[in-house]
Structure 1
Amino acid sequence: MAALIEDYALLSDLQTGPLISREGSVDWLCFPRFDSPSVFSRLVGSDEHGHWLLAPSDPGAAVVDRHYVESTFVLQTVWEASGGRILVTDFMPLGDSSSSLVRRVTGLAGSMEMRQELRIRPGYSTVLPWMSRVIDSGPTASLVLLAMAGPDAFALRGPHLPQAHAHGHEGTFLVSEGETVDFELAWFPSHRPVPAATDVDAALEVATEYWSRWGSHCRQDGAYGGAVKRSLLVLRALTHMETGGIVAAPTTSLPEDFGGPRNWDYRYCWLRDAALTLESMLTHGYETEALQWRNWLLRALAGDPEQMQIMYGVGGERELPERELTHLPGYADSKPVRIGNAAVSQFQADVVGEVMVALERLRMAGGKEDHFSWALQQALLGFVEKHIDDRDFGLWEMRGEAQYFTHSRVMMWAAFNSAVRAVRLHGLTGDVEKWEHLRDRLREEIMRQGFNRSIGSFTQTYGGTQTDAALLVMPQVGFLPYNDEHMLGTVARLEQELLTGDGLLLRYRTESGVDGLEPGEHPFLACSFWLVEQYARTGRHGEAKTLMDKLVGLANELGLLSEEYASDEGRMAGNFPQAFSHLTLVRAADAMHGVDRLSLAVEEPE
């Protein structure tokens, strides 16, 4: 059985992101990329669906400390038992085309027997690999436990390799004070030779130095500076080193409602998330990374704008068909377990706006357009113009009927507003008169059809009465000031309709059936962070601090946040760690710290 979501730690080699439980079990790992088939699937299954446990044999042993080495993803866990004390250091080496996971056990006091269980189950646990022991041909001539499964191969190295037992491998070994025992599990293409053993000391030094150096560049101050730095590190950890694509989360099918069907695959790159990541990186001093994300965006979008998707594979792949893995019981019996994502084919009218806003912020920070990037943006504006009268499925990827979502219409306005400013303020060329006309037409329409005067609030859809937390984005993109009376009325309505008893904000009311799914969902953390920003920007500092402290306090001891929080059960829900939660944490902290994120309010030169 999988652990509580908040009991997991993330590792990263900027290619993939395994999850390790507090109990020392690697329950989720996709080799070699974030969106590759998993080799350990216990997170959404059982022991037999793949895991790698390394923990004391003594059932009385307890974890007394677990932390990342400062500003890194080098995880250290200290165990204590009556006979001794040990340290387990888990990390992924960086800078190699191969991918591996290293687990180091160090005796701190006395002695302790360690237990190891290994169940390698490639292909989302559909393949039982051929296991064998081979002698490494390298200079050490060491014994390697080898697993072969079609195109994939896995090699476990270490001085105490587990023995075959019940379609897996198990074993024990003793660690005494001052002794160090290293294990490495490496993935490699099965047609290639077994990769050479990693120099663990050197690899640990490189990984620690890389993450520490990256974190040291973070511009952050104030009471929430530590949470901002860890959030930016998470965003970096979820980024593929070579392509620059950022995944929404490293997991699939962690439920938004335990036991329900709201289980989605988030191991892909949403244009929206990539654009918002670019903004956060710019604000906190990572201009090089922002340009890398811009280049990923441009490559992914290249081609006929009519073929634009809302998400892509890590390398820009377009084919992400959704299917159900019926052989996996799901996390907390939440079915189905899904891979792929059917939302890839949806029309979401807000996406181009997010991209245009992010690229404008890059211009404002000094980023230069080239012939490719501005031409592509103009083509995207043509796509928005062509579909300006089309209904869409909205930010939340509704699986019901297409609607005129107010947030989507605002983001279409933002796309044209950014284009107008590109010409008027930044000297680029384009049909600015047409873009101004379309921008102004959308503004008039939104104020007329998206604002319900009888309730004094913007609504989720045109002509509706229900609100939506996505409406909090309106002042963020400059559509209205934060303290505009229309926004203040909307915030009051959101507080009345979507605020839960413990002060967290729902996305929308699922009972309405607008999303085409059974009702039931927990508060979406990003929405509550948006509310913090709104409070902070309108002088409600006490309420902003109370809510921000609560939200930051929901992170686990490693600073990681999931998608949602189940307040009634006091536990995290949804995919983990979630990029969107960490992105909005950064925004909220910036608002609390008084950081100027480059104004996008409508302005024209004289």
Structure 2
Amino acid sequence: MEGRFTRPLSSDPRHVALADLPERETAYPPIRDFALIGDTLSAALVARDGAIEFLCLPDFDGDAVFTGMLDARRGGRFFVGPLTCGEATRSYIGESAVLRTLHHTPQGVLEVTDLMPIGKRGDGSVGGERQVLRMVKALEGQPELGVLINPMLDWGTTLPDFRQDEDGSWQMEFGSDGLRFVSDVDLAPVAPGALAGSCTLETGETRFVMLTSASPDARPVTPDTPARELDRTLAYWTQVNTGCKPDGPFREAIMRSAVTLHLLHYNNSGALLAAPTAGLPEVMGGARNYDYRFCWIRDATFVLHAFFSLDLPECAENFFRWLMQAARHSAPRLGVFYSIGKEHDPGTRELTALEGYRGSAPLIIGNDAQGQLQLDGYGAVLDCARMYVRHGGTLSEEEQTRLQGYAQAAMLDWTLPDNGLWEIPGSRQHHTYSKAMCWQALDAWLDLIEMGAVRDDPTGYRSEHSRIREHVLSQAWNAEIGAFTGAIGRDWLDASVLLLPRIGIVEADDPKMVATFKTLKRELSEGPHFRRYPTGLDGLPGDEGHFMACGFWAADYLTRAGRLEEAEAQIAGLLASANDLGLMPEEIDAATGEHLGNFPQAFSHAGLIAASVALEEARGARRDCN
């Protein structure tokens, strides 16, 4: 079988990725065209045409190996697919994170199976290695296979130096051990920092390419390694999802969300990433390009609820334990977010070598929101503790003391202005959601006292609990607008107030809440999609899209208001914007359906689970009443 690349190589080695891949309609595929594979330690985004275009190693927040999503010319890719473009159809195998893509080309049908092998305990591949396995099979005809490996290290600034070992594999320096590419496709240097190979396959013929550690202790790759790792990984996903049996019309979407959250659940610490990517724009060509490879405290209650609702107790336990440890050095104060494996402020760094997705710059890794004050975190953490105890968990003496500190901080700090959960630039305000979450913090603490999970005198908490509720329901209401507004004494709207009934501070059928939903629906929504707040409020250039999670909060509200058919239609409308694999972004352009922001977004998937579970519980309660 003859190996060949038909396209001439660019004279600039940084352009190899574009020169050798099959011709694309655009240098930057839509964000919705990407799939996610991972091993609970890191993750890779795979384009529909077969190019891995985002991968950091050894962990989610590690150094970038491939970042073609952020620069089509200089970012680097790991391509395994047909040399001739054709229609591509793809799906995950069952309820796993193993991706299977069928490429229908004029020469035949090529099947590519992509995975990051995962061991029995979810600790990456056996031995703790990070691996990416790409298995190829010719299903029909004589399809032509192309392989291009073009890493760009340190976020587009450094070409790797490849060397070939005696066994034919190729190694490059990376971290302490280096990386190795093993394949039964003949690979050869085609330019500095790039390897390529190609061949024509007969029907039934197979090939593979594997990225793995170059450590001397790494397991050897043998001809039976691909099949063994595939079986091991599929067995892992079967085992981990055993108890996850959601009901209702959105079962398939919930299961995909469960797998997605599990992929973002960093096994080494228990943290859950907001998203596995950095720099994907909320505004095309604009400056809203953030690093989301951290765990935000505001997400915590939705994450833990999802794990418990889907009967994933090990995930719930690990996440709660991480949550209890993450802020121990700053307690009783909470940070806005935390690194997935450590507590220190990661700082920020501008990536000047990459142009950004479709020219969206500047690109910043790290995040500078850590200096903000977000009071909603107290409610998120204490609600998680309440949820944990209700599901049979027990709190250590140290944890009880720390939680008491959060309750006392909420009782003292709720009168302060803060930056709010959306981290809006400018002066601090008295955000309605923040104050409601301080109420939830005391509500949860009083429940924990009543359950006997903690020891404390409830008297002072009860008094302040009532005071916060009265303040929110009277002062956040704007009769002229006909809604609870985003901040006390302000006239702007905020979709986060849709959560007030879920928090428990007001009933969904309260006339003020009914009016609020009507106003928010009129002013912030387009179809099933809701903006976080009015365009231009944050003072940043460009108009961001509609926030997926806010749409699910609207469905949650409708359920609690007893409007179950509307809630189901709301969820279905939002899911129509997911990609063909059921993955959801942070934001959506409601007019075009274009995905925006880092992808896939945990907040969106957790929002789906919360809204769907609430809907099924309400339907069950209605059936019981009848």
TM-score (norm 2): 0.90
Which is worse superposed, 520-529 or 170-179? 170-179
Residue 534 of structure 1: aligned partner: 557
* Offset of residue 4 of structure 1: 0.7
Helix, strand or coil: the match of 2:163? strand
CA deviation profile, 1:112-146 (whole Å, cap 9, x unmatched): 221111111121122222211012xxxxxx21111
Does 1:508 find its partner at 2:533? yes
Are the equivalent residues in 2 in contact too, given 1:67–1:75 (CA < 8 A)?
A: yes
1:475 aligns with 2:470: no
Match of 2:582? 559
Structure 2 match to 1:318: 344
CA contact (8 A) 1:253 1:265 kept: yes
Could you tell me whether the CA contact under 8 Å between 1:283 and 1:597 is conserved in 2?
no
- Determine the C-alpha separation between the residues in 2 that align with 1:78 and 1:383: 55
1:155-186: per-residue Cα shift (whole Å, max 9, x none)? 00012242212332222122211211111011
Spell out the pairing of 1:256-295 with structure 2 (5 A cutoff). Answer: 256-295=282-321
Of 295-304 and 347-356, deviating more is: 295-304
Distance of 2:457 and 2:368 partners within structure 1:
35
CA shift digits 1:198-218 (9 cap, x unpaired): 622111111001112222311
1:73 matched to 2:97? The reply is yes
Q: Deviations over 1:549-583 (max 9, x none)?
A: 11111111111000111122221111110000000
Residue among 233, 247, 260 paired with 1:221: 247
**TM superposition shift of 1:337:** 1.2
What is the Cα deviation at residue 221 of structure 1?
0.6
Q: Distance in 1 between matches of 2:419 and 2:477?
A: 19
Which of residues 130, 142, 164 is equivalent to 1:111?
A: 142
Kept in 2, the 8 Å contact 1:322–1:339? The answer is: yes
Quote the offset at 1:302 in angstroms.
1.3
Partner of 1:45: 71
Q: Which moved further from structure 2: 120-129 or 405-414?
A: 120-129
Deviations along 1:483-533, one digit per CA (max 9) or x if unpaired, are 111211111110121112x34111001323xx2422411110100111111
Structure 1 residue aligned with 2:361, among 323, 328, 335? 335
Residue correspondence of structure 1 range 295-314 to structure 2 within 5 A: 295-305=321-331, 308-314=334-340
The aligned residue for residue 178 of structure 2 is 153
Q: Distance in 2 between matches of 1:288 and 1:99?
A: 22
CA–CA distance in structure 1, aligned partners of residues 317 and 474 of structure 2: 38
Unaligned runs of 5+ in 1: 136-141, 599-606
Q: State the match for 1:439 in structure 2.
A: 465
Aligned-residue offset at 1:446: 1.3
* SS of structure 2 residue aligned to 1:474: helix
Deviations 1:70-110 (A, max 9, x none): 00011111112232222111111112311010001112122
Q: How do residues 175-190 of structure 1 correspond to structure 2 at under 5 angstroms?
A: 175-187=201-213
Aligned: 1:90 with 2:121: no
Correspondence 1:411-490 to 2 at 5 A: 411-426=437-452, 428-490=454-516
The residue that corresponds to 1:577 in the other structure is 600
Query: Structure 2 CA distance, aligned partners of 1:207 and 1:526?
Result: 30
Could you say what the CA RMSD is over the residues aligned between the two structures, in angstroms?
A: 1.9
d(CA) in 2 for partners of 1:149, 1:78: 32
Give the superposition deviation at 1:67.
Answer: 0.5
- Per-residue CA deviations over 1:261-294 (Å, capped at 9, x if unaligned) read 1111101111222332111111221222211111
Once residues 539 and 204 of structure 1 are traced to their aligned partners in structure 2, the CA distance between those partners, rounded to angstroms, is 45
User: Which of 197, 202, 215 in structure 1 is aligned with 2:221?
Assistant: 197
Instruction: Name whichever of 470-479 and 366-375 sits farther off.
Output: 366-375
Gaps of 5+ in 2: 1-26, 120-125, 622-626
Would the aligned equivalents of 2:334 and 2:378 in 1 still touch at CA under 8 Å?
A: no
Q: Aligned pair 1:20/2:46, yes or no?
A: yes
The 8 Å contact of residues 401 and 516 in structure 1, kept in 2 or not, is answered as no
Residues 2 and 27 in structure 1, CA contact (< 8 A), matched pair in contact too? no
CA 1:73–1:595 in 2, change beyond 3 Å: closer, same or farther? Answer: farther
Tell me how far 1:457 sits from its aligned partner.
1.4
Distance 1:366 1:595, change over 3 A: farther
**Greater CA deviation, 554-563 or 151-160?**
151-160
Using the alignment, how far apart are the partners of 2:201 and 2:52 within structure 1? Answer: 20
- Report the CA distance between 1:295 and its aligned residue: 0.4
Alpha carbons 1:252, 1:264 under 8 Å: kept: yes
Contact persistence 1:133–1:143 (CA under 8 A): yes
Shift of residue 541, structure 1, vs aligned partner: 2.9
Contact 1:188/1:195 (<8 A) preserved: no
CA shift for structure 1 position 371: 1.4
Q: Is the 8 A contact 1:299 1:316 kept in 2?
A: no
The answer to whether the 8 Å contact 1:279/1:362 transfers is no
Q: Which moved more, 1:269-278 or 1:21-30?
A: 269-278
Q: What is the letter of the counterpart of residue 25 of structure 1?
A: A
Q: How many residues align?
A: 585
Residue matched to 2:131: 100
TM-score by length of structure 1 reads 0.93
CA separation of 1:418/1:150 partners in 2, compared to 1, >3 Å: closer, same or farther?
closer
For 2:571, which of 532, 545, 548 is the aligned residue? 548
In 2: Cα distance, 1:427 partner to 1:289 partner: 22
Are residues 123 and 300 of structure 1, via their aligned partners in 2, closer, same or farther at CA, if it must alter by over 3 Å?
same
Letter in 1 for 2:585: S
Contact map agreement 1:400 1:517 (CA 8 A) in 2: no
For 2:334 and 2:552, the matched residues in 1 are separated by 29
1:544 and 1:35 map into 2 onto residues whose CA distance is: 37
Once the two structures are superposed, residues 431-471 of structure 1 have per-residue CA deviations (whole angstroms, 9 ceiling, x without a partner) of: 31111122122122212321112333111011011110000
* 1:579–1:150 CA distance, 2 compared to 1 (3 A): closer
Partner of 1:601: none
